[in-house]
Amino acid sequence: MIKVAFYDTKEYDKPSFERYGALFDMQFRFVESKLNEDTAALAEGCDAVCVFVNDDVNAAVIDKLYRYGVKLIALRSAGYNNVDIRAAFGKIHVVHVPAYSPYAVAEHAAALLLTSVRRIHKAYNRTREFNFSLNGLTGFDLHGKTAGVIGTGKIGRIFVDICRGFGMKVIAYDLYPSDNGIDYVPLETLFAESDVISLHCPLTDGTKHMIDDAAIGKMKKGVVIINTSRGALIDAEALLGGIKSRKVGAACLDVYEEEADIFFEDRSGHIMDDELLSRLISMPNVIVTSHQAFLTEDALNNIAETTVKNILSYYSNDGMCDNELCYRCGNIERCRNDRKQRCF
């Protein structure tokens, strides 16, 4: 039986993973704590660990897991910026879920956009108090507006289709543009021409704080910024400044750079220590959801199925490790198209 330490467990995680684990003789040790240097010892005696976006899988954690005999780190997410892939090379294999339900994330981005521009959240709160006034609820049509999509992987392309369905003009930026009928433009052009900007790219050294003071300065007055990818793509201080100066018309955030100790938890009975997040939430043109874009039954089922298959592939005899993240060639994800064996 393959034993897996499952970190940062939430109640909605268990049903699908327990179901697939039972099918393939896999035992999950569910741990509520996040993975870090202090909790790595909880994986002792396990063959693999399963981690999520806010687990801290740094070099020191990887060394501890390696000493405990852990052979595989299985991310139940697409992003892997919280894992030191370089430190893991030669010690522990790393796999992820490249596509669990791109529709879930793209649709959530669209839901945030519609909620914001049509003031649906404000109308809901009013009518709950029997206030049926329409004052202050004027929005704008999406039809005819320009959507700038940064990152055209599976999620980005689905968001492009949604925007086209609204009758929007779509332009995009991607480091690796493909021949998919999308109008690619330089990033500066996208900033200057877009009424709506939606981020669908991974967090890397090159994309961290790609939305900063300089970028916001190039944008249209009243631009709507949507982020359902990774919080650190946006410099939150710069975003707040853009909102206060009226340059940014609205912000729709499902992620936040310092979310690790805040999101996924009930903080309603506590004073919020993060003053920046408190100030953003207090703004009337900011909508924050707590990293829930992935949270559909379809996505949870796909995440569990793919993660379990990733783990099983490591223990198979064909030499391949499905969805492995490889540091060796420097092209962490894309080398899998040509590789016919494990990364090491």
Q: How confident is the model at residue 99 (pLDDT cuts 50, 70, 90)?
A: confident
CA atoms within 13 A on the CB side of 139: 18
Catalytic residue among 108, 259, 324, 336: 259
Determine the pLDDT at residue 340.
63
- Which position among 76, 96, 119, 291 bears the catalytic label? 291
Average pLDDT of span 273-299: 96
Is the sign of the CA dihedral 150, 156, 160, 162 positive or negative? negative
Prediction pTM value: 0.89
Q: Which residues contact 36 (CB under 8 A, 6 or more apart)?
A: 55, 56, 61
CB-based burial label for 58 (10 Å; 0-12, 13-18, 19+): middle
Q: Which helix (H) or strand (E) holds 93?
A: strand 93-95
Our answer to whether residue 108 is catalytic in this structure is no
Report in angstroms the alpha-carbon separations of 243 from 3, 248, 290: 48, 5, 20
- pLDDT tens for each residue of 184-219: 999 999 999 999 999 999 999 999 999 999 999 999
Burial annotation 101-114 (CB, 10 A radius, 16+ → b, else e): bbbbbbbbbbbbbe
Our answer to whether residue 230 is catalytic in this structure is yes
| Tokens standing for residue 109 | 């981005």
d(CA 71, CA 114): 44
Give residue-wise pLDDT tens across range 104-120. Answer: 999 999 999 999 999 99
Task: Please give the domain boundaries of the chain with CATH numbers for all domains.
Answer: 2-100+297-337 (3.40.50.720), 102-288 (3.40.50.720)
| pLDDT above 90 coverage of the chain, percent | 86
Active-site residue identified among 93, 200, 230, 336: 230
User: Catalytic residue at 336?
Assistant: no
pLDDT tier at 326, thresholds 50, 70, 90: confident
pLDDT at 37 over 90: yes
